[in-house]
Structure 1
């Protein structure tokens, strides 16, 4: 392979214009770019963007130079304008194949090197004067074309899986609306209760100072937010406490009948723990919703409700956004829940659980494809 400076690989187009009213329809900002996807699915602005923007043409590669750690790279879907916090890049086709170029720019090989030269603390930014001198190894053009053919085939399949995953989420939302209507307008006149009216919210406990986790031979699991995934707990990721530590915080345990919710860091992860780890200790960054005896709300229905827009939006509204976002326990008790008949709640929860199984399989397949994609890149670059 041959080593090139980045300015020998790419052209940084700096053509700019001051937007006029009609430019709002073809405007792309960094907020429109999705990490890990070269395709643009959102665009436009309600009003004409303010300040000079970069001119882009269909097929250009758009690179978010501000907060580059977010790894936002996309192909311009049409002629228009792009955020000045990005770069508009074009390939030097004597060095890099045009079909391989966007794959190269979106690769960890390129992005990891670019991120290292970011400057600034609050919003680290990459400057062209630093980026252009970085050196990268590239295979010959014939090899690039073969790689592009393979990688684009994988990429297209990955995008198909993403669409199917999104469609599964939309199916759940539409099923909820069909059965129960919009919770905001409550056209069906269903009862609305606050969580505090049918349950009690309790917080977890910080691991005692000086205490440490034991190995996985004990029987006192400690559930952290990092162990929590949507609707469940990843059992292999659990850490375990010593007997002494367990006894110190054992009253902060969670039952498989409870609903957990993360209240710090990644706010709003909601789920339940499996029966096999009933009595696990609860971290201070999570809370449990203990349902009252005979509560008119099914546990699984509540989990799904809090994960759907009806609940997620309330969680966001009630979260205190400071340096460390935090959701107070009393605010959780204020969340309003639409309460249809219990049999209908359980029927909906069963439907969503089945949909979630299908989604899990899709996500697993997507993860495997992504790993294959990255492996091929790593084996052929650098």
Structure 2
């Protein structure tokens, strides 16, 4: 198959909104979900200074911190942040339904990261992105591939919804048993029930992440496991523990030995023998932690007040979680198989 450059099949769409774009849905970097092909988050009637226009079928690529792997197809017209590159397929050159999978793949993101400039907020320009090379099959093969990959993607979306429904069920059960932490006033401070043990974890630089390995690396991204490493020296073994993303506010309950990602990760350990870690994880999930953008949020966690319900109630909740997690585990296995299949197809035809 012939090699093509991204600039041969796509352009950067640079149109601006008429006026201030009032009434158009807004998409910021925070709305792009890592690994998500179809855009699912946006904000209506937002007050912002966004002027960059996008249309239905355009790909919104997060050019800041490209390692977050944010690139999704819009299904409506709107406006977006200047930290998003709007990409449009050239008419008649490529099946436009195939382009999202050429962009939403690991090799492209690795290329984007390698061309990014800046230390705190690295960004990549279209002038570099358009030089990305990939193999492109003939039009007939493109049509077949697009149909196959979108069928896989629709199944991935369905499995993700099942997982979300399971999470919602667990949260509903938590509120039914204990009440909603947002509405309750706890009697215990952070220092009474939790300890920040970040100093006891070993942080791994992004460049040292492996695709497979002995121990998972847990960082503040949305993905539960961001990479792997084989080293035994420095692994945090006192699981279960809770990971909090200082910038992102993502929470993760880790039940096996692990390493930390390099930036913005807080490792929390329950220190009260009368509190179950599973209960504490969901208590934090439901607590009000303000979103102040890409700033530090751990100070808000330390200001929370905590409740200590009876052991009987906690055990009742944990049993519900175990049953739900067993169902979720089966769905997650199917989901992983689908994602692996999609990656293998993309690598075979575009690698």
TM-score range, shorter chain: 0.7 to 0.9
Query: Which residue in 2 is equivalent to 1:309?
Result: 286
1:170-319 map, 5 Å: 170-186=168-184, 192-194=187-189, 201=195, 226=217, 260-261=241-242, 269-270=252-253, 286=267, 288-292=269-273, 295=274, 297-298=275-276, 300-306=278-284, 308-310=285-287, 313=289
Match of 2:314 among 345, 350, 353: 345
Query: Which residue in 1 is equivalent to 2:26?
Result: 27
- Is this contact kept in 1: 2:174–2:282, CA < 8 A? no
| SS of residue matched to 1:130 | helix
1:108-123 map, 5 Å: 108-123=106-121
Alignment deviations for residues 235-257 of structure 1 (CA, whole Å, 9 cap, x no partner): x989657xxx9xxxxxx995x8x
- Say if 1:226 and 1:132 are closer, same or farther in 2 by CA, change over 3 A: closer
| SS of residue matched to 2:183 | coil
Give ranges in structure 1 of 5+ residues lacking alignment. 208-223, 230-235, 246-251, 275-284
Cα distance in 2 between the residues matched to 1:137 and 1:163: 33
- Is this contact kept in 2: 1:59–1:78, CA < 8 A? yes
- Say if 1:115 and 1:97 are closer, same or farther in 2 by CA, change over 3 A: same
User: Deviation of residue 135 (structure 1)?
Assistant: 3.3
- Is this contact kept in 2: 1:26–1:44, CA < 8 A? yes
| SS of residue matched to 2:22 | helix
User: Deviation of residue 156 (structure 1)?
Assistant: 0.8
- Is this contact kept in 2: 1:19–1:48, CA < 8 A? no
- Say if 1:290 and 1:82 are closer, same or farther in 2 by CA, change over 3 A: closer
User: Deviation of residue 366 (structure 1)?
Assistant: 1.4
Cα distance in 2 between the residues matched to 1:33 and 1:118: 19
User: Bigger radius of gyration, 1 or 2?
Assistant: 1
- Is this contact kept in 2: 1:19–1:51, CA < 8 A? no
1:147-166 map, 5 Å: 147-166=145-164
| SS of residue matched to 1:22 | coil
User: Deviation of residue 263 (structure 1)?
Assistant: 7.9
- Is this contact kept in 1: 2:20–2:51, CA < 8 A? no
- Is this contact kept in 1: 2:270–2:277, CA < 8 A? no
User: Deviation of residue 194 (structure 1)?
Assistant: 3.9
- Say if 1:78 and 1:173 are closer, same or farther in 2 by CA, change over 3 A: same
Query: Which residue in 2 is equivalent to 1:221?
Result: none
| SS of residue matched to 1:118 | coil
Cα distance in 2 between the residues matched to 1:130 and 1:160: 35
The answer on 1:7 being equivalent to 2:10 is no
Give ranges in structure 2 of 5+ residues lacking alignment. 202-214, 221-227, 258-265
Match of 2:130 among 126, 129, 132: 132
User: Deviation of residue 353 (structure 1)?
Assistant: 1.9
Alignment deviations for residues 206-259 of structure 1 (CA, whole Å, 9 cap, x no partner): 69xxxxxxxxxxxxxxxx994899xxxxxx989657xxx9xxxxxx995x8xx6
Per the normalisation by structure 2, the TM-score is 0.74
- Is this contact kept in 2: 1:60–1:89, CA < 8 A? yes
Per the normalisation by structure 1, the TM-score is 0.69
Alignment deviations for residues 178-221 of structure 1 (CA, whole Å, 9 cap, x no partner): 233222323xxx97434655x685959869xxxxxxxxxxxxxx
Cα distance in 1 between the residues matched to 2:21 and 2:79: 12
- Is this contact kept in 2: 1:37–1:74, CA < 8 A? yes
- Is this contact kept in 2: 1:264–1:286, CA < 8 A? no
CA RMSD across the alignment: 4.1
Alignment deviations for residues 129-169 of structure 1 (CA, whole Å, 9 cap, x no partner): 33334433211111111111211111111111111111111
Cα distance in 2 between the residues matched to 1:5 and 1:202: 47
- Say if 1:181 and 1:358 are closer, same or farther in 2 by CA, change over 3 A: same
The answer on 1:381 being equivalent to 2:350 is yes
- Is this contact kept in 2: 1:304–1:349, CA < 8 A? no
- Say if 1:271 and 1:304 are closer, same or farther in 2 by CA, change over 3 A: farther
- Is this contact kept in 2: 1:168–1:359, CA < 8 A? yes
- Is this contact kept in 2: 1:227–1:237, CA < 8 A? no
- Corresponding residue pairs, total: 322
- Is this contact kept in 1: 2:25–2:46, CA < 8 A? no
Query: Which residue in 2 is equivalent to 1:355?
Result: 324
